[in-house]
Homo-oligomer: A and B are copies of this chain.
Amino acid sequence: MSLKIPTLEDIYTTHKRIKSLIHKTPVLTSSSINNILGTSISFKCENFQKVGAFKFRGATNACLLLEKENIKNGVTTHSSGNHAAALSLAAKQLNTPAYIVMPENAPLIKKKAVAGYGAQITYCKATLKDRETTLKQIQKKTNATFIHPYDNFDIISGQATCVKELLKENPDLDTIIVPIGGGGLMSGTALYCKLTNPKLKIFGAEPLMANDAYKSYKKGKLILADSPKTIADGLLTSLSPLTFEIIKNNVDDIFTVSEQSIIEAMRMVWERMKIIIEPSSAVPLAAIIENKTIFRNQKVGIIISGGNIDLENLPFKP
C-alpha cells in the first residue's frame, strides 16, 4: 500500500487556506541562551498560537476541508490535550460540534481548555487501546468525522506551515529541531524542509522515557511506545504508519534526552526568555544541552510546540 504524502504544492495551498484563521507567531532569540550554549537559536513560538499550540494549524485545515454533508455531524478525536483543544476551537469557529476523547490523566489546564471551547468530553484510560475503543463508540453514536491527531494528510499539511513561516523569517538556518510525539509536526516540518532546502539538517528530539520514534527510526520499522512515562505529556503517543513513513525518509537523526535535561531546558527558557513553554517544547533545547559540541556555532531553528501547563504542578526544585 502506498501512502498519500503532502507535496510542496499541498503545503502552499494549506497555508493560504488557514492563514487568516491562525496567528503568525513570533520568532524569538535569547543572547544569554546563545552564550551559554555556543549556538545561535531561533525559537518559533507556537506557545503564542491560538489554543497555545501548533496543533491549531492542522486542526483548522482539517475542519476547513470537511465535506459539506459531514459538517453538521461534527468532528471527533482522541488526544491528551493540545489537538483536542485545537479541534474544539476550530470546530467552534465552523459551528460544528466536537466530541473529544481525553485520557483521564491529561493536565487539568488542557481539560479546562477543551471544555471552555464548548466540546463534549468523554474520559478514558491513558492507553492507546482504550482511547481508540472509546472513540469508535462515539463515532458510531454521532457519525462525527474522526480527525486523527497526526495520522492524517490534512493535519500534516497544516503543521508544515509552521516551519514555512520560520524559514521565511530566518532563511539561513543550518538545522531544525522538532519534538516528536505522534510525529505530525515532525513529518510536516521534515517534508517542507527537504522539499525546499535539502541541505538543511532536520532532527527530531524525543524523551528517552518515550523513545518509540527513536527505536522505530533506528530499526527501520514502526515500533509502538510501551508504557511511556515522561514529563513531556504531549510526547506520549506513538508514530503512525503515515508519520513513520515520512520521518523514515526525511529526518536526518533523532536525539533522545533525559527528564532532567527537559526540566533544565524548560527552566532556561522560562528564566532567560520570560515565556511559558510546556515540557514537550523544551525537548529540542534539551537535545542541544546534551550535545553542545554537535550544535556549536550552528544556526538552529527550534519549534516551541506549545505553552499549556498546570501552574500548580511545576517541576522546578530549589
Contacts and interface: CB of A to CB of B under 8 A. Distances in A.
A48 interface: yes
Interface residues of A, number: 20
Contacts of A316: 311-312
Contacts of A47: 274
A317 interface: yes
A267 interface: yes
Interface in A75-111: 108-109
A171 interface: no
A52 interface: yes
A311 B271 contact: yes
A109 to B, nearest CB: 7
A151 to B, nearest CB: 28
A16 to B, nearest CB: 23
Residue among A108, A271, A307 with max Cβ neighbours from chain B (10 Å): A271
Interface in A255-284: 267, 270-271, 274-277
A307 B274 contact: yes
B275 A274 contact: yes
A314 B38 CA distance: 31
A267 to B, nearest CB: 7
Interface in A18-39: 26
B270 A311 contact: yes
A311 B314 contact: yes
A271 B318 contact: no
A317 to B, nearest CB: 6
Given A109-B271, A274-B48, A317 B312 contact: yes
Interface string A95-132: 00000000000001100000000000000000000000
A307 B314 CA distance: 17
A108 B316 CA distance: 14
Nearest to A316: B311
A274 B276 contact: yes
Interface string A45-69: 0011000100000000000000000
Nearest to A311: B316
Nearest to A46: B274
Contacts of A267: 311
Contacts of A307: 274
A148 to B, nearest CB: 27
Interface string A170-209: 0000000000000000000000000000000000000000
A270 B47 CA distance: 11
Contacts of A317: 312
Nearest to A48: B274
A52 B311 CA distance: 21
Contacts of A276: 270, 274-276
User: What are the 6 closest A-B residue pairs judged by CB atoms, nearest first?
Assistant: A274-B307, A311-B316, A274-B276, A312-B318, A47-B274, A312-B316
Given A52-B274, A274-B307, A275-B276, 9 more contacts: A47-B274, A267-B311, A270-B276, A274-B276, A275-B275, A276-B276, A311-B316, A312-B317, A312-B318
